Structure 1
Amino acid sequence: MLDRDPRSTRTRIQNVALELFAEQGYDKTSLRELSERLGMTKASLYYYFKSKDDIVQSLVDDLLTAVDEVVDWARGREPTAENRRELIERYAKAIRGQGTPLLRFLMENQPALRVHECGSALRERMRVLVDFVVDPGDPLPVQLCGRMAFFALHGAPMIMSDVEATSEEIFDAACVVALSMVPDGLGEP
């Protein structure tokens, strides 16, 4: 049954698409399956999204909006240890707001995103964030720790999926780990 509010229908389509992408993978999910799961016709689905790529683009656009706020915050700031930690905290809050299903989708469907336009946009934003946290003059282990801070946030829902904990508890743990990996600006994580 369709909701009369187009925004809630759009959100429902996005959520069900993420469920199917998680169950079957992006490449193996068809719009027909999605419309059947939603209980709507394919024509009704096309009213909101013309393709799977449009659905992914809409999901990533929402994420990019949240990440852009973090990128904007970092502009003009010195990458002090305090600001690096603040960036990680802001980034964690931004991606947490997008939800665990989206993070799992992004991690599990990297090959599909490599060729998608939105994948390039995400990689561009991540380069800006990583460049703020990681000093290329630091020793490689320190640089790796800075990069792994982001991976801890992205990968925790997938890595910890077999652990008896809520998604909130897992994400809280990922934040603690990510913050512990942030370089302090003195060549030490």
Structure 2
Amino acid sequence: MPQRPNEPSDQPRRTRSTGSGRASGRSGSRATGRSEGRAESRTSRSEKSRSEKGRSGGRSDTRSRIQEVALELFAEQGYDSTSLREIADRLGVTKAALYYHFRSKEEIVVATVEDFLADIDDLVEWAEEQPRTSRTRHEVLRRYSDIVRVRFPSMRFFQQNPAGMHRSGLGERFQERMGALHGVLYDGGPPQNRVRALLAIVSMHMAAALSRDSGMPIGVGLGLSVEEANQAALDVAFDLVDAEDAASAKGTTDAEDPASARGAEDSGDSERG
């Protein structure tokens, strides 16, 4: 198809690091491990994004609408049963117009997942520059909650097409980002803390399905508004990360006062005797 005047033939894609390195070594070197090249890369991406918006006008909005409609159809009738023609018909455009943005269903899915991953990357990069406090963890969860609400159709696609996600490698990339996000919520300590941080993330995923507007059976049954479902999930997630802080503090106290710990053990032995 001939290229339109003054417009690029392909939508530039944002390049992100996988985040897998961030997920595994967080014991205090999170800020010092960031290179100048990475910072320059983030700056150039922001400048590039502003430049693209100025040149392309509503082109990004059109792509977003295509992704939204495609995910709706995938949810309604399945990925394999949906054609590009049906997506174009739902949008009210020609197939040629759709081809200008995406050449295949796979391209639509990849772009949608990459948008989600980019949001998570931005959040993790922000969190790594903050102090490791309960307040920071709460803010991470609030921001991730907002991301999930916007990207809920993507989450639903992940759940409905696990085999396709695995074959394309997108599933592994998503798991890497979950590991990075877990890393900024988990600050060491006993295994229970690791589980608490993971459950806090899962709570945000559940929130998107708990409202009556989600279309999910559990949400319809509960009858909660989007705001009520989101707040309930956030409250649970906050309790989990606050318990992480309490457990870590208790472990530190016991380590600093071994006599107290021995006294508690002796008391327990006495009671059993």
| 1:62 matches 2:120 | no
2:162 is aligned to 110
CA distance in 2, matches of 1:95, 1:14: 16
Q: 1:107 to 1:117 in 2, by over 3 A?
A: same
Of 244, 257, 263, 1:184 maps to 244
Q: 1:90 to 1:112 in 2, by over 3 A?
A: same
Aligned length, in residue pairs: 183
CA displacement 1:33-84 (0-9 Å, x = unmatched): 2223223332222111111121112222222222122111222545333332
Q: Secondary structure of 1:40's partner?
A: coil
1:166 is aligned to 225
Q: What is the TM-score when the length of structure 2 is the normalising length?
A: 0.58
Larger radius of gyration: 2
- Matched AA of 2:134: A
| 1:134 matches 2:186 | yes
1:155 is aligned to 206
Q: Secondary structure of 2:237's partner?
A: helix
CA distance in 1, matches of 2:238, 2:140: 10
Contact (CA 8 Å) 2:75, 2:157: kept in 1 or not?
yes
For residues 1-189 of structure 1, the aligned pairs below 5 Å read: 5-96=58-149, 98-135=150-187, 137-140=189-192, 142-159=193-210, 160-162=218-220, 163-182=222-241, 183-187=243-247
TM superposition shift of 1:11 = 2.1
Contact (CA 8 Å) 2:141, 2:204: kept in 1 or not?
no
Q: What is the TM-score when the length of structure 1 is the normalising length?
A: 0.80
Contact (CA 8 Å) 1:66, 1:94: kept in 2 or not?
yes
- Matched AA of 2:67: Q
Q: 1:118 to 1:22 in 2, by over 3 A?
A: same
RMSD over aligned Cα atoms: 2.6
5+ residue gaps, structure 1, are none
CA displacement 1:134-181 (0-9 Å, x = unmatched): 3564134x4322211111111333354323233333223222222222
